[in-house]
Amino acid sequence: MSNYDKLTAHYQTINHFNHAQSMLGWDAAANMPAGGNEARSQAMAELSVHVHRLSTQQQLGEWFDKAQQELLNGEQQSSLREMKRQWQQATIVPEDLVQAQSIAGSKCEHAWRSQRPANDWKGFEKNWKEVVKLSREEANIRSEALDLTPYDAMLDKYEPGTTSASLNTLFSDVKSWLPELIEKALDKQKTQSIIKPSGIYSTASQKALGLETMKLLKFDFDHGRLDQSVHPFCGGVPSDVRITTRYDEKDFVQALMGIVHETGHARYEQGLPKAFAGLPVGEARSMGVHESQSLFFEMQVGRSKPFISHLSKLSADAFNAHQDPVFAEENLYKIYTQVEKGFIRVDADELTYPAHVIIRYEIERDLINGVIEHSDVPALWDEKMKASLGLTTEGNYQNGCMQDIHWTDGAFGYFPSYTLGAMYAAQYKATMQQTVDIDGAIKSGDLSPIFNWLSDNIWSQASLHNTDDLIKRATGETLNAAHFKKHLETRYL
């Protein structure tokens, strides 16, 4: 058995444990009763320690050295590179820290579920202080090993190759034109009248509508399902993808577009190459590329006029409300492209969303780099919200710095992925429309030409290339934010 083969067998084993971990996590969010949390946290911590041990075994270093001398084809070389990257990521962090983080993160996140609605910053802060402390420890260890700043070392987990220097430049550019674009769009929409949803939209009808929409987006129900949770997410594994949404019976709008978004994540997972299943090279390239799929589905497809036309018919059917003007095409389009300055990132419209991301990026960057302390976050949040969206969150923690799940378990470095994803998505569309009649495909109800392009250029490529190369191969250039700006101007002005 070659050393390369030994490594692939070993990483397949690790993947089986990650599969179990992923399903336990999905179940904790979608099904588990509150009383199960403590035992579940312990079980998941035990599993993460086991995976960490498997990922850091002594002989791996020797296998990597020897495998590099073996005759490998291009795809095997990419596979070796990605296994080695995961090995290096794992060996950097000591086992006791991995376990401590898993326990602190589970504890903080579970308590956050009730602390957030209670606006209990003091209670949250007690748990979060430990999460921040451990995340900083991790960041400093990674920083030393990778010769990066502490925050860049965390960023590297989600966006390999991206640095805060490049993000500072990118986001400074966005900050230079976004506020004016928001004001212009608000001004343009000032006179439009929108009929808002009123009445009761049962969870059962909303779920049925979601499932019909997923069918239109060609979700594979033999390899996935839809459930309900506090925070919408896409979990599971490529052969069994679990997506969730949350329903509000007074408003079907958010849950429906949330399902379109999560279906984008799910189709990427379902479209990853079977030949590399269970190996690092067969995984999604980065979180930004993952978000580019959900945001392509939600923003480029989901909020387009021809797709809204389908949603208009499907929702009127689901709620048996064919005469209700809420579901008229034009009205739904206005609802889904309405610009509004608000507190909540997950409810934000496409235009104000980047402002929410940039606030979080600037705070977590400075928090991990030790420029600010965890206790400074509420005041900084308020200050930045005032500056970018003219809103104050003073004393309003649940709609301010306590609103997201990410920081509760130490996922620092993730937020930039959302805006990178939106930018990549706009760039794909600009390229795709040179060879695909996008609106025509959506109108026809057969979106295959769109999905075929994504499959050929993104899904099937998994992690065979680094992010810049992947984007360049797909679109002819590396990330260019001009496409994103143009997309926003076209839709909103």
Least Cα distance to 412 among 364, 460, 347, 445 occurs for: 364
Residue whose structure tokens are 């996935």: 224
Q: Which amino acid is at 102?
A: S
Which of helix, strand or coil describes residue 256?
helix
Residues linked to residue 241 through DSSP beta bridges, in sequence order: 224, 236
- Distance CA(237)–CA(217), nearest Å, equals 19
Per the structure block, which two tokens stand in for 226?
Answer: 């839809």
For every residue of 394-413, DSSP letters joined together read TT--TTTTTS-SGGGGT-TT
Contact 361, 159 (CB under 8 A): no
From 138, 262, 283, 350, active-site residue: 262
- Long-range interactions of 175-184: CB distance < 8 A, separation 24+: 175/358, 175/388, 177/485, 178/351, 178/354, 178/355, 179/355, 179/388, 181/351, 181/485, 181/488, 181/489, 181/492, 181/493, 182/339, 182/341, 182/351, 182/352, 182/355, 184/492, 184/493
DSSP H stretches of helix in 242-286 = 253-270
Least Cα distance to 374 among 145, 142, 152, 104 occurs for: 104
Q: Would you call 383 a catalytic residue per the annotation?
A: no
Q: Could you give the residue numbers annotated as active site?
A: 262
